[in-house]
Amino acid sequence: MSAESMDRSRPNRRPARRRLRVDPQGLAIHAILIAVSAVIVSPLLWMVVTSMKEHQDVFTQSLWYIPPEPKLLENIQHVFDRIDFFRYFFNSLFVSTAITLLDLLFASMCGFALAKYRFPGRQIVFGSIIATMMIPFIVILVPQYILVRDLGWLDSYAGLIIPAAISSFGIFMMRQAFLSTPDELLDAARIDGAGEWRILFQIVLPMHVPPLVSLAILRFLGEWDNLLWPLVVTNGESMRTMSLGLALLQDDRYGTDIPMLMTAATMALFPIVLVYVFLQRYFIKSVAGSGLKQ
Amino acid sequence: MARVEIVRLEKSFDETEVVRGIDIDIPDGEFVVLVGPSGCGKSTLLRMIAGLESITDGEIRIGDKVVNDVAAKNRDIAMVFQNYALYPHMTVAENMSFALKLRGEPKATIEKAVKRASSILGLDELLQRYPKQLSGGQRQRVAMGRAIVRDPKVFLFDEPLSNLDAKLRVQMRSEIKELHQRLKTTTIYVTHDQIEAMTMADRIVVMQAGLVEQVGTPLELYDAPANVFVATFIGSPSMNLYNGTIENGEAGLVLRMDQGAVLPVPQDCPAVAGHKVVFGIRPEDILIADGPGVVARISTVEPTGAETLLLCKVGDITTVVISRTRPTVGPGDEIALSFPAERLHLFDQATGRRL
């Protein structure tokens, strides 16, 4: 069909007017969805509301009380007084971004090889990678710490980033995504003169943006929230991450300044919300498409 | 443009032999069609010529150069795939220019080549579109454009029309043939559709189970099939086959059908009395006799307008007769068929080879 005839065949009618009908099933589904959303969103809202309160308001006023003069700026000032917020924020941003980018790179490379090349032991390699997903992190925490210590990476970006720079989940996810790439496309590229690296980076990866973005979000969120490993591997002030900083704001002896803690948490949440808002279209596409749940 | 020689070519996957010693010589500029049923090794052979599959034994020469160990990209060939294999994130123009860009050709040369190919194939209006915005036929044309742009020594087509609807397939068939007549590039075309093979090829290579059954022009294959397999594979509807025995008749040799009828044998028949044979006759060569003949009972009548297909039973063997005279018969009727001796094809019953 030529371009003109395609244009001509496009329907040019006005859409039929929608009639408002009561759909009991739809109403019920939406009522449930709204109720569940409320459960998920209310702690976040409470966090934001609390960041405007004074310390005593938390215990004396109602849950959703917003003072007539919100104390948000004072609370932010308190956060800056107590911890080196920008340093922690930068560390978290740098470490999470580096881990995400490295994992995207390595997971696509491994996933591509496992999905598209035939080599002896491929299934065993893939099976072993999947098997590592079943080992809880807490089990390898100590050996990993000893390894990192022996490499001299304690209290360094290397110690924070390199052990997490490749994930079996990422490999699994990218392999599943690449399986759907037709072999003929790779053959066509080979005949066109592309080498294997070019095929991966110029042909295959641009076709799989949704799973890449999805993996990026999952990894970034996971690393941004990560508390245990940074806690173990860092000692000094300069290498602390945001989640460690938030933990430091909790004071067991004199009671935690909850509005301040919530203010810091709100500020720490900011990049995650931004990442999600910009990339959620791809994220939903990928998760819905691959049937993966996380 | 180049000559392609395939010498004693073999391919096995582990224990399975897929291609079992094939020799084909394709002169410069020829359009050769590899045809055969699924799993006969034709696509594997094409992929070996392309350099996408390793060679177990034998030799492939393109333009007198042995290319066994030459990478696909250095063989100077272009391939069109069944599902088009267009890069979905690139526009038509980018798809077509990808190979030239990788080769490091100057921008002006690339633009010129893309322009030339797009005007040959009528793609000028579509250059900035993405593959998903194109119809099946347009995508196929872009895939051919991508091949033309490179001005390769050899074109390889791997069942390129299988995904198109019947009407478009006929149209693209003649477009590909015209393209070959215009560019005169050596072309190797794989299909399982014998009509495509008949209509497009200068020469057809019929393959089965990894072996070449016969190589020849379409009419050679149609008129003188080398064995029973080629006889049934080439031609649609396919040749009617019956078992019989050569016997001594009153005026020389005759052919006695297992169903009982006695037929005259072709004049140059090399068989001797007692020879068990398979004999075949094309549906359009069978005549409806006014007098005595081979008795057949009609089971279905299929008028197509230009001709009428009569499906009937001779004994328990289904026989197809093509008549151009619009006979006034119906299912259940008995008719007499006449098998002209000069139109019979005789094959040895044991080997299946043509006598």
Domain boundaries, chain A: 25-70, 81-288
Rounded to an integer, the average pLDDT of A124-135 is 94
Spatial contact of A238 and A87, defined as CB atoms under 8 Å apart: yes
pLDDT along chain B (355 residues), means of 10: 90 89 93 92 93 92 91 91 91 94 93 91 91 90 90 92 86 90 93 91 94 94 94 92 89 85 83 88 92 90 92 92 89 92 91 90
Q: For the beta carbon of residue B232, count every other beta carbon within 10 angstroms.
A: 14
pLDDT score for B249: 82
Conformation bin of residue A14: beta by default, left when phi > 0, alpha when psi is -120 to 50: beta
Candidates A191, A203, A207, A209: best to mutate against B (most CBs of B within 10 A) is A191
Among A102, A94, A84, A99, residue whose Cα is nearest residue A248: A84
Candidates A184, A186, A192: best to mutate against B (most CBs of B within 10 A) is A192
Which of A6, A187, A193 has its CB closest to that of B103?
A193
Q: How near does any CA of chain B get to the CA of A101, in Å?
A: 22
Q: For the beta carbon of residue B237, count every other beta carbon within 10 angstroms.
A: 15
Question: Which residue numbers of B have CB closer than 8 Å to A's CBs?
Answer: 47, 50-52, 71-73, 77-79, 81-83, 85-89, 98-99, 102-103, 125-126, 135, 137-138, 146, 150
Q: How near does any CA of chain B get to the CA of A188, in Å?
A: 6
Q: How many beta-carbon contacts under 8 Å exist across A and B?
A: 63
Pick the residue from chain B with its C-alpha nearest to A4. B125
pLDDT score for A293: 33
Separation between Cα atoms, residue B183 and residue B123, nearest integer Å? 17
Spatial contact of A111 and A175, defined as CB atoms under 8 Å apart: yes
Coil, strand, or helix at residue A288?
A: helix
Which of B51, B77, B87 has its CB closest to that of A203?
B87
Question: Which residue numbers of A have CB closer than 8 Å to B's CBs?
Answer: 1-3, 6, 182, 184-185, 187-194, 198, 203, 206-207
Instruction: List, for residues A266-284, the tens digit of each pLDDT value.
Output: 998 888 888 888 887 777 7
Cα B125 to Cα A29, A127, B113, B128, B316: the distances in Å are 48, 49, 16, 8, 58
CATH class of A81-288: mainly alpha
Which of A185, A198, A206 has its CB closest to that of B85?
A185
Pick the residue from chain A with its C-alpha nearest to B148. A192
| Residues 6 or more apart whose Cβ sits within 8 Å of residue B27 | B3, B186
Q: Cβ of B135 and A189 within 8 Å?
A: no
Q: For the beta carbon of residue B242, count every other beta carbon within 10 angstroms.
A: 22
As for the ipTM of the complex, it is 0.84
Among B136, B128, B190, residue whose Cα is nearest residue B159: B190
Q: Cβ of B85 and A206 within 8 Å?
A: no
Among B182, B175, B123, residue whose Cα is nearest residue B151: B182
Spatial contact of B215 and B202, defined as CB atoms under 8 Å apart: no
pLDDT score for A153: 94
Coil, strand, or helix at residue B169?
A: helix
Taking 70 as the threshold, does the pLDDT of residue A11 lie above it? no
pLDDT score for B268: 80
What is the reported pTM?
0.80
B314-343 CB burial, b ≥16 within 10 A, e <16: beeeebbbbbeeebebeeeeebebbbeeee
Q: Cβ of A198 and B102 within 8 Å?
A: yes
Q: Cβ of B79 and A3 within 8 Å?
A: no
* Helices A258-290 and A85-116: angle between axes, nearest 10 degrees: 10
Q: How near does any CA of chain B get to the CA of A208, in Å?
A: 10
